[in-house]
């Protein structure tokens, strides 16, 4: 059984129809009881709110990735080596409070000509302090992916790590990607977190509304049990799959839904799709090598486990007797989309 099938089997516990009335915007300030999905209004709400998230809200992302980070790094390395020239100029959007792509995952040779942008001023300030402890030359600025602070045809690569999952105005950002990339330039979307729900739910609801059918559709959830304190349990629902009208109502894993959707819009905008896949890295490394570089950044893990899984936004670790004590098995995965702007 493949990694994705195993993941879906493990996490998808129940299915139900998700009604548009239940959908809320990213911060819950707008619900869609009036059934009206107004692109402009939602983009405005979204960009206002994106500027107000706290640095605290991003700490979990770093912790989640540490488990099998060497695997994520290999996937990024493979993607960049394949599609990006060594001295290419790169603009990263949605770099977050920790510059995770730049600091933890990107091979050195691509860092020389790299600019990070984020819409949230607090994230930018925090990222500057965090990154500059290790690399004083890093360029980090405020920048909105709906209105990129870049000239026409000015960069070779535009990319984001779990950044295009936080927006709703896909077409508006793709207009900007197209404007700012040089002819033949490359767009790279990497998704390793479980994507934010609201933009994808709205996307599917809107597609159905535009075709004159009910904007309610089937979704798959994982019910997580939470132990608040002894004897008191609660549950939290995690959206794991969504029916896609483009795929005859097949339930798609959220990261895959996002990659498929972005792929479709890039094609409509005359980009050539060079890669659209779930990349997996599965390897055995020496325990003392695990997180070697991350220790310099203050992270460490001293548990007894020897198998680490980081797939589609979820972590797991366990012990396997098949491995000697000095070795660790890492299994990591990411959704990857690479699209190229045409030359003319
Ligand atoms: C899910 S977080 C990912 C952060 C980081 N790349 C990571 O993987 O840890 C999404 C990031 O996109 C940023 N973002 C959201 N909307 C944006 C916009 N319109 N322009 C630029 N950045 C945006 C958010 O502030 C946030 O830092």
The closest alpha carbon to 97, from 50, 147, 42, belongs to: 50
53 CA to centre of ligand 1 in angstroms: 10
Instruction: Write out pLDDT tens, residues 137-182.
Output: 899 999 999 999 999 999 999 999 999 999 999 999 999 999 999 9
CA distances from 196 to 2, 8, 163, 181, 270 (A): 24, 18, 10, 26, 27
For residues 324 and 10, give the distance between their C-alpha atoms in angstroms, rounded to a whole number.
Answer: 27
- CB proximity list for 154: less than 8 A, separation 6 or greater: 89, 180, 182
**Token pair in block for residue 148:** 């990129």
Specify the residue with its C-alpha closest to ligand 1, atom 4: 96
Quote the CA–CA distance of 67 and 237 in Å, as a whole number: 23
Smallest CA separation from ligand 1 atom 13, residue: 94
Q: Is 215 helix (H, G, I), strand (E, B) or coil?
A: coil
Q: Determine whether the shortest distance from the Cβ of 116 to ligand 1 is under 6 A.
A: no
The reported pTM is 0.95
Task: Please tell me if the CB atom of residue 166 comes closer than 6 angstroms to any atom of ligand 1.
Answer: yes
For residue 27, what pLDDT is reported?
78
pLDDT of residue 264: 97
Residue pLDDT, tens place only, 261-282: 999 999 999 999 999 999 999 9
Q: Please, what's the b/e burial string for 75-101 (b: 16 or more CB within 10 A of its CB; e: otherwise)? A: bbbebbeebbeeebbbbbbbbbbbbbb
Report the CATH fold assignment for 3-280+335-341.
Answer: Rossmann fold (3.40.50)
CA-proximal residue: ligand 1, atom 10 (nearest): 163
pLDDT of residue 4: 92
One DSSP character per residue, 311-324 reads ETTEEEEE--TTS-
Instruction: Please name the residue whose Cα sits nearest to atom 24 of ligand 1.
Output: 94
For residue 260, what pLDDT is reported? Answer: 97
| Residues with pLDDT less than 50, the chain | none
Domain ranges of the chain: 3-280+335-341, 282-330
Element (H, E) at 308: strand 307-311
137 Cβ contact list (under 8 Å, min separation 6)? none
Handedness of CA 194, 196, 201, 204 (dihedral sign): negative
């Amino acid at each position: 059984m493949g990694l994705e099938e195993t993941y879906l089997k493990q996490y998808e516990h129940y299915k139900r129809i998700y009604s548009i009335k239940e959908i809320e915007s990213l911060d819950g300030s707008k619900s869609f009881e009036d059934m009206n999905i107004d692109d402009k209004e939602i983009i405005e709400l979204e960009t206002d709110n994106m500027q107000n998230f706290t640095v605290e809200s991003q700490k979990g992302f770093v912790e989640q990735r540490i488990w099998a980070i060497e695997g994520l790094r290999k996937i990024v390395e493979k993607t960049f080596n394949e599609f990006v020239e060594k001295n290419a100029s790169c603009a990263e959007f949605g770099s977050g409070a920790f510059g995770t792509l730049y600091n933890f995952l990107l091979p050195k040779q691509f860092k020389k000509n790299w600019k990070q942008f984020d819409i949230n001023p607090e994230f930018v300030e925090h990222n500057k302090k965090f990154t500059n402890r290790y690399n004083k030359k890093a360029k980090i600025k405020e920048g909105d992916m709906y209105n990129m602070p870049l000239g026409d045809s000015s960069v070779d690569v535009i990319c984001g790590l779990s950044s295009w999952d936080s927006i709703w105005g896909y077409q508006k950002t793709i207009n900007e990607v197209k404007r700012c990339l040089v002819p033949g330039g490359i767009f790279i979307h990497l998704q390793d977190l479980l994507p934010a729900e609201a933009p994808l739910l709205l996307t599917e609801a809107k597609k159905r509304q535009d075709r004159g059918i009910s904007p309610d559709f089937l979704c798959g959830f994982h019910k997580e049990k939470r132990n608040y304190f002894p004897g008191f349990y609660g549950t939290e629902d995690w959206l794991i799959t969504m029916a896609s009208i483009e795929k005859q109502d097949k339930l798609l894993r959220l990261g895959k839904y996002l990659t498929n959707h972005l792929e479709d819009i890039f094609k409509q905008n005359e980009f050539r799709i060079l890669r659209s896949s779930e990349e997996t890295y599965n390897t055995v490394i020496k325990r003392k090598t695990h997180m070697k570089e991350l220790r310099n950044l203050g992270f460490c893990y001293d548990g007894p486990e020897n198998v680490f899984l980081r797939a589609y936004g979820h972590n797991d670790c366990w012990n396997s007797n098949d491995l000697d004590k000095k070795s660790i098995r890492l299994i990591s995965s990411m959704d990857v989309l690479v699209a190229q702007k045409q030359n003319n």
